[in-house]
Amino acid sequence: MRIIAFFRPKSGFGPDDFAPHLVDEEIWSWNQFAAGHIRELNSAPTFGGMICLLEFDSVDEAMAEMHNIPLFKEGMLDLELHELHPFTNWAILFDAEVRARLPPTPP
């Protein structure tokens, strides 16, 4: 299952608070990448944190593993997990009545 994770530092913590934990954090994330659980990891400056695409059998399994993140264990991160499913609304385009209303495909 694809899961999107939103990580944001909790207020009150700054770079000096995070620094002692960053090596352990990177080791944890590398191990999760190598295991196929982290598919993509992005910094999101406008969000103020990181957004991660995960692969686990369930959200519960993902959350259990996220509790092993060093910064999360230290109480320094807020975390949200959300299941991702295929966007199936495009299926309506294959309905005969709807197809009759679509503009012709250019050559």
Paired with 9 in beta bridges are 77
Q: The whole model's pTM is what?
A: 0.80
pLDDT attached to residue 47: 85
Closest by CA position to 52, among listed 5, 99, 88 = 5
Residue 95 has pLDDT above 90, yes or no: no
- Amino acid identity, position 24: D
Q: Which CATH class is domain 2-101?
A: alpha beta
- Domain locations along the chain: 2-101
Closest by CA position to 17, among listed 62, 77, 66 = 77
CA of 19: how far to CAs of 33, 43, 87, in Å? 21, 17, 39
pLDDT in tens, 37-84: 999 999 998 888 999 999 999 999 999 999 999 999 999 999 999 999
Closest by CA position to 39, among listed 18, 53, 26, 29 = 53
